[in-house]
Structure formats: structure tokens, C-alpha cells
Amino acid sequence: MTYVHADATVVIGPLGRRAEPGAHDLCAEHAAKLTPPVDWQLIRIDSGQAPPERSHDDLLAIADAVREAADRADQTPARKESGPADDPAASGRRHGHLRIIGDS
């Protein structure tokens, strides 16, 4: 999905092959339900191709990649978090861009 502000248009098309500024990936359900802002035009571009099927192997590969990234983050020296002392999130353990917050 891309917004073309100059033309007051929302364009929904196939997933991009690379990241583009201002473009957002949507699942099929959300793409089908999306409505444009008032007075905007909606253009749907159909690629004519069925979405790729996901297999169990695909999910395992994603999980392995996340684990590897978390392991690399654990091996780097910890940075001191800046934040108020009473902020429970400031004392959490970090995994990449995620933070694990313990039970209070």
C-alpha cells in the first residue's frame, strides 16, 4: 500500500521486492478491507499471481533467524539504558529491539 498525497490516492498492489519509503505491506485480509480517507481515490492493482504458500520450513527458518539475531545481541556489550529509575521498562533485559520485562 502506498499513499500518493499529491493525487489524494491510495494504491494497493502486490508486495514490493524491496523496501520502499512510504510503502507498507498488508496481509490480504487487511488489503481487502482498507478504505481510503474521505475524498481520496483507491486504486487496486492485481498482480494476477496467487500469494506464495508458506510451509513449516519457512516458519522454522524465520524462527532460526530471530534466535540468531537474539544470540548476537546477547554477545554484544550491554549499553546503559537511559530512563527514569522508576520506569519498569528501563530495567528489562534487551533482545535486539525488544525488551523483556520481568514480573513485578
The maximal CA–CA distance of the chain, rounded, in angstroms, is 55
Q: Confidence band (pLDDT; 50, 70, 90) for 78?
A: low
Write down the pLDDT at residue 83: 52
Whose CA is closest to 79, among 65, 66, 90?
Answer: 90
Write down the pLDDT at residue 98: 61
Average pLDDT of every residue of the chain? 75
* DSSP-assigned beta bridge partners for residue 10: 3, 42
In this structure, what C-alpha cell is assigned to residue 61? 527458518
Q: What is the pLDDT of residues 21-71, one digit of tens each?
A: 888 888 888 888 989 989 999 998 876 666 666 677 777 888 888 888 877
What torsion, rounded to 10 degrees, do the Cα atoms 32, 21, 8, 25 define? 0
Q: How far is CA 11 from CA 17, 18, 27, 29, in A?
A: 16, 17, 14, 16
Whose CA is closest to 17, among 54, 41, 47, 62?
Answer: 47
Write down the pLDDT at residue 46: 78
Write down the pLDDT at residue 24: 85
What average pLDDT score do residues 66-95 get?
Answer: 62
Specify the pTM.
Answer: 0.43
Write down the pLDDT at residue 6: 87
Q: Rounded to whole angstroms, how far apart are CA atoms 37 and 59?
A: 35
Q: Rounded to whole angstroms, how far apart are CA atoms 55 and 92?
A: 34
Write down the pLDDT at residue 84: 52
CA angle 70–78–63, rounded 5-degree value: 5
